[in-house]
Amino acid sequence: MRPPDLWKALLDKAAQDEQAADRLSGFPDSSPEIIGFHLQQAAEKMLKAALGSSGIVYRFTHNLGELIHLLDVNGSPLPAGLERLRDLTPYATEWRYDFVPPEGEDDLDLGPHREMVRRLRAWVEEKISGAG
């Protein structure tokens, strides 16, 4: 059953992933892979909410770069500085199931990405409130 306000429901689900990432970040023994996974999931849901609320059709994907590109080519580019959210894609794809990230990519500082997810939320909420 489709929720009456699917885009708001996606934002609510994204908030759950943000909360999980924040809580896990508070424990020094939490793996970056699981924190990155929740940040990626939050960003994915928010991007899909932005796309869908604008009537932009997207395919089932975890690829944040693809979702960002769809926004861009449809006249809704992300605010400057958020393009690097695409760096989170491997956390929901290959790093989700592989035990070791590729050499040199396991030291991604997730702090700036957490801030980008916060900025993305503000942008998407404003976009959706303007669309409704």
User: Confidence class of residue 97 from pLDDT cuts 50, 70 and 90?
Assistant: low
DSSP of 91-125, one letter per residue? HHTHHHH-SSPPTT-TT--HHHHHHHHHHHHHHHH
Mean of all residue pLDDT scores within the chain: 87
Residue 74: the pLDDT is 96
Domain boundaries, the chain: 6-131
Q: Which region among 27-36, 76-85, 103-112 has the lowest average model confidence (pLDDT)?
A: 103-112
User: Model's pTM, two decimal places?
Assistant: 0.88
Superfamily the domain 6-131 falls into: Nucleotidyltransferases  domain 2 (1.20.120.330)
| Element holding 81 (H helix, E strand) | none
Percent of the chain scored above 90 by pLDDT?
66
Higher pLDDT, 35 or 3: 35
Instruction: List, for residues 1-31, the tens digit of each pLDDT value.
Output: 455 588 999 999 999 999 999 999 988 888 8
Contact 47, 64 (CB under 8 A): yes
**Rounded Cα–Cα distance for residues 67 and 63 (Å):** 7
Q: Per residue, what are the HEC states of 3-67?
A: CCCHHHHHHHHHHHHHHHHHHHHCCCCCCHHHHHHHHHHHHHHHHHHHHHHCCCCCCCCCCHHHH
Matching residue, tokens 């989170």: 88
Q: Packing angle between helix 32-53 and helix 6-25, nearest 10 degrees?
A: 160
